[in-house]
Structure 1
């Protein structure tokens, strides 16, 4: 039977967050931010394993309590998110996982993802020929800019904000990233963009506005408030 696995790239520094440690390790609601991410994915019953990709130089002391037994940490992160994902996929395949298994790549900093949304993504995309991703229809008026001034209003119809997880076949995603590895993964902003380069059209599955990527200092305050409201 086809299995499902999570991959969490966790090798970044989070320079925009203004924290003294990489943002994924910043305490939020009583534990490092990334632990909320890991625990949310660990609560998804369809996921058979989880892989957290760390920088080889990572010296963070992980808490023993709350770590799910079916999740592993691997020190093969690269200099970019795409490289970390690619290296993680290689480690997964080298471990013996079937290339036809599904991998759900999820940002470490999206600590507010809800298990139900991930399960819904799996249920909708498990029989899809390509795979898919959580995303949100663009809710706001969109402007293009030149020199700090509005150039024009861009129609927002048929435009979505990409989120994670993004779910694709393990071997297919590996091969899509391998095809652009020599360019330093130029133009690859997420996993879907790598699949799109091959002429494929990933499925969009509506997510939640709460599944935002913690990036700036104010985001930590909001994330903490939401996490504490759920307890």
Structure 2
């Protein structure tokens, strides 16, 4: 693709969003919520340690020392997150140094190394890629109007892999573009002319937002352990 860095995709960097307050979950900052004895932050870092050159993590400013004690070390940098999700994303990208970037969120604790590898290969071709699953329910407006039937739309997941050059080009013109006040990364990439390519995601790649989500995640871990005879 024109304008994209042609260096190998092992020259990649993981950017981890871990600055959420976790207000809907009610257990404090999301980064430090525990699943199977590990914090969500530790699980995310473990996913990427052997996949990328380095990792940049955004956590709440008040928790930088706490996060550093858990995951600090060679190849790991920690910064204070922003006031909004998109501001945190922009700060992470501002710290990035690799030609290919992988944006992840600690609330997706079941993402796999295999899926990251597939996403990197897709991003090499399209400039950006993300996992997605096909919706299986009718989707409605708040007033009851039907928007989409089952199978009509995709539900996006994380991580997202994208060209650093493209996203920086998008941010350079973002203020003049017609985007929302808190744009998603995919919306930002569209400003640079990059349409994110979706690859098949997984229903296991759940997002932990509510107590019910955490209970489901705990049940998934317990089931995996029983199947493995542990």
TM-score, structure 2 as length reference: 0.82
Look up the match of 2:131. Answer: 134
* 1:81 aligned residue: 85
Per residue, is there more helix in 1 or in 2? 2
Question: For the residues of structure 2 that align with 1:143 and 1:51, how far apart are their CA atoms?
Answer: 38
What does 1:60-209 align with in structure 2 at a 5 Å threshold? 61-62=66-67, 67=71, 71-92=75-96, 97-98=97-98, 101-126=99-124, 128-146=125-143, 150-152=144-146, 154-180=148-174, 186-209=180-203
**Structure 1 position 52, deviation (Å):** 0.9
Cα RMSD of the aligned pairs, angstroms, is: 2.5
Q: Provide closer, same or farther for how the CA distance between residues 38 and 64 of structure 1 changes in structure 2, counting only shifts above 3 A.
A: same
* Distance in 1, Cα, partners of 2:42 & 2:58: 13
Task: Look up the match of 2:46.
Answer: 39
SS at match of 2:159: strand
Q: Any runs of at least 4 consecutive aligned residues in structure 1 with deviations exceeding 6 A, and if so which?
A: none
User: Is contact 2:157–2:205 with CA below 8 Å preserved after alignment?
Assistant: yes
Residue pair 1:112, 1:227 contacting (<8 A) in 2 also: no
The TM-score normalised by the length of structure 1 is 0.81
Change (3 A) 1:169 1:59: closer
- Please give the secondary structure, in 1, of the residue aligned with 2:137: coil
Name structure 2 gaps, 5 residues minimum: 1-6, 226-230
Mapping 1:19-30, distance limit 5 Å = 19=27, 21-30=28-37
1:49-64 correspondence to structure 2 within 5 Å: 49-59=54-64, 61-62=66-67
2:204 is the counterpart of 1:210: yes
Matched pairs, number: 216
* SS class of match (1:51): strand
